[in-house]
Chain A
Amino acid sequence: MATVVQPGSTGKVGESQRHTESIYQDTTAKWFLLSSIAYFFVVGIIALTIAAKFVWPELLGTIQYLTYGRLRPLHVNGMLFGWLLPADMGLAYYVVPRLCGVKLWSEKLGVATALLWNFIVLGAVVTLPMGLNKGWEYGELPLPLTLLVVVAWVMFGVNIFATIANRRYPQMYVSLWYVMGCILWTTFVYPTGNIAVYFTTGTNQANLNWMYVHNAVGLIFTPIGLAMAYYFIPKASGAPLFSHKLSMVGFWSLAFVYVWTGAHHMLHGPISQWLQTIAITFSVMLLIPVWTVVYNFFATMKGQWHQLGDNVPLKFTMSGVVFYLLTCFQGPMHSLRSVNAIVSKTDWIPGHAHMALLGCFSFFAIAGVYYAIPRMFHTTLHSDALANWTFWFFMIGGLGFFVTLWLGGFWQGWQWNNPSIPFIDTVVALKPVWTVRFFSGVLMFLGITTFLYNMLATVLSGSKTETVKAAA
């Protein structure tokens, strides 16, 4: 195992990587990362708006294009397909060539993919407020945009797989498996929730829909997010990954277990009891891949924890790991029937979902962007202090958001289970919770703003350095 390809090791591979650093063009990665950060900011405004509507329901209320039901899908799709997925794809375009020791197979194809992706996101920004909504959660985008997502995904997959096929190092580091797994599974998961649903109705359709919704998180954002954590934790800390074998256990148990759990979104609902039981069983088994992965990350950090103080990418990744552990403990727990009877359909659920996609996977992506952007532009980060502010804005805003929604959601669930309490009283009771959520959102938006500013300033100083070099 001494020769395992390690992003953080100082072995032979690391050296040859350093010598060849100049072969990586990163044009595609730059396109994807910069546009995703811009959408993070724009969609952040939408997020704040819909959070404000819970506190002030009349806000922008008579304009149909800005009503809650039109902006919420824009928030969800914008964050998922405008920010997080393209950020992870951009990081994949950065990481995969370096782990393979070769150039990206085709920068031209990559840039075309980035342009197509931007077209899709801008299309969503126009069509969703118009009310062109297919009616499936996470699958709202109108059909033409859906089909373009499939095309863009194939373009991404071809580029990554062709790069991996050309690799100089025979052994593939664990980040490569996760990126490949994500590409392969998404190719089936995405059409299930966006195209196969057209040929079904009712419960059958809902079952396909939840298979997609659950695996959009489990087999798209989890593997590509973990790929980045597996790369950037060793890179940012300079410590090699604790165990290659353990990463293998984590990967293959994830590959097997995740896809079975979709029906846990319908517990107690109009779907066969035996399918609910299968979904619960496999949901609990998810603890296996999660705990092996988290143990591997913590063990990698052994003796390195002092670095957390001044290493912002490491701060984001390791907090992301803790949120991953928490969110993936909640998941199996509220798939249990007794817990589900309290928390399901309450505000607990957005608390849980935001911890997964914001607290964990967005933290991983932000860490990757902080690490990669200065290196891609051959410069240094504009401001370490501002990066630290970004982290604390996200951390405090995020915790405020998660914790109040969990408490509020549990409280709401208990009230619902006492039918003598009129429903409207359970709505009014949540208003303080929604107010805290809004102000937590303001903090997170400050995090996004400082992140955007820091990145833009870094990129601009980078292009100045390059001009100076060229002039000299």
Chain B
Amino acid sequence: MLGKTDKSAIGFVVAALVFFFIGGVLTTVVPPLIDKSWSKPFENDDASKGPTGKLRPYTELELKGRAVYVREGCWYCHTQQTRTLLADTKRSGWKGVDSPISTPDEFVYDTPHMFGTKRTGPDLSRVGGKYDTQWHRTHFRNPRDLVKGSVMPPFPWIVDNPDEFTALVAYIQTLGRAKNWRPDNDYEK
């Protein structure tokens, strides 16, 4: 059958698209229909089933901060996924408590998604609530003042713009907070 496709352009086009669409449809259209956790926001009040908590939509301020995060390309160097690897749960953990792994239902309100592919800096999927506003202000102005050896760029134009800075920090503090997993819920306590 395929032997004829090098003489008939129409036969070729049909075969090339059929081959492509089998895999294309089965791996992009079908999975969200099968796996509901991709679209249902996280909610759990039964501690025996794992961490409790509820995913809430972003506020307007947080969305504005998220837009800054997207604009500055933070996602080129910071992933937002605690993978099913022991080391990831330790590294995303806090003060001796391991972080729960990231699940699809924690990201239902994310667009554009910020999972990332490269970790030049640490993963941020559970960073919310770990560092206070003053820490972030100093760190964004010059990361090397707080973390010696860091290669993160300085972001003075964000710190000098109170609207953007407040929004960005508000967004960062939401990261990974849908699941209640730390004994101390916040840096304030």
A→B interface (CB under 8 Å)? 53-54, 57-58, 61-62, 64, 67-70, 72-73, 131-137, 161, 164-165, 170-172, 174, 177, 180-181, 184-185, 188, 192, 197-198, 200-209, 211, 219, 244, 248, 252, 255-260, 262-263, 265-272, 275, 278-279, 282, 341, 344-346, 349-350, 416-419, 423-425, 427-428, 431, 434
Asked if A270 and B70 make an inter-chain contact with CB atoms under 8 angstroms apart, the answer reads no
Asked if A345 and B31 make an inter-chain contact with CB atoms under 8 angstroms apart, the answer reads no
Asked if A171 and B87 make an inter-chain contact with CB atoms under 8 angstroms apart, the answer reads no
Jot down 25 A-B pairs with beta carbons below 8 A, ordered by A.
Answer: A54-B151, A58-B154, A62-B154, A69-B74, A70-B73, A132-B71, A180-B16, A181-B16, A184-B13, A206-B107, A252-B19, A256-B22, A262-B27, A262-B28, A268-B85, A269-B83, A269-B102, A270-B101, A270-B106, A271-B104, A275-B27, A417-B85, A418-B87, A425-B149, A431-B151
Chain A residues within an 8 Å CB radius of B81: 266, 269-270
Asked if B113 and A192 make an inter-chain contact with CB atoms under 8 angstroms apart, the answer reads no
Question: 6 other contacts beyond A73-B76, A201-B108, A268-B85, with CB at 8 A cut-off?
Answer: A136-B113, A172-B6, A272-B31, A417-B85, A424-B147, A424-B149
List residues of B (25-83) whose CB comes within 8 Å of A's CBs. 26-28, 31-32, 34-35, 37-39, 70-77, 79, 81, 83
Which residue of A69, A135, A350 contacts B114 across the interface (Cβ within 8 Å)?
A135
Chain B residues within an 8 Å CB radius of A64: 155, 157
Asked if A345 and B119 make an inter-chain contact with CB atoms under 8 angstroms apart, the answer reads yes
- Of chain A, the residue at the smallest CB distance from B80 is A270
Known: A53-B153, A135-B114. A204 touches B32 (CB 8 A): yes
Interface string of B1-25 (1 = CB under 8 A from A): 0110111010011011101101110
Measured in the bound complex, the distance between the Cα atoms of B134 and A132 in whole Å is 28
Chain B residues within an 8 Å CB radius of A425: 149
Which residue of B12, B31, B88, B90 contacts A177 across the interface (Cβ within 8 Å)?
B12
Between A and B, how many residue pairs show CB distances below 8 Å?
226
Measured in the bound complex, the distance between the Cα atoms of B31 and A204 in whole Å is 8
Chain B residues within an 8 Å CB radius of A132: 71
Chain B residues within an 8 Å CB radius of A282: 23
Chain B residues within an 8 Å CB radius of A135: 70, 75, 112, 114
Known: A67-B153, A424-B148. A270 touches B91 (CB 8 A): no
List residues of B (91-119) whose CB comes within 8 Å of A's CBs. 91, 101-104, 106-119
Chain A residues within an 8 Å CB radius of B23: 256-260, 282
User: B152 interface residue, CB < 8 Å from A?
Assistant: yes
- Of chain B, the residue at the smallest CB distance from A415 is B87
Measured in the bound complex, the distance between the Cα atoms of B112 and A434 in whole Å is 29
- Of chain A, the residue at the smallest CB distance from B107 is A202
Measured in the bound complex, the distance between the Cα atoms of B31 and A191 in whole Å is 19
User: B84 interface residue, CB < 8 Å from A?
Assistant: yes
Closest chain B CB from A167 CB (angstroms): 8
Chain A residues within an 8 Å CB radius of B106: 270
Chain A residues within an 8 Å CB radius of B72: 67, 69-70, 131
Chain A residues within an 8 Å CB radius of B90: 419
- Of chain B, the residue at the smallest CB distance from A57 is B151
Residue of B22, B24, B76 with most partner-chain A CB within 10 A:
B24
Asked if B79 and A345 make an inter-chain contact with CB atoms under 8 angstroms apart, the answer reads yes
Chain B residues within an 8 Å CB radius of A268: 83-85, 88
Asked if A133 and B9 make an inter-chain contact with CB atoms under 8 angstroms apart, the answer reads no
Measured in the bound complex, the distance between the Cα atoms of B77 and A207 in whole Å is 20
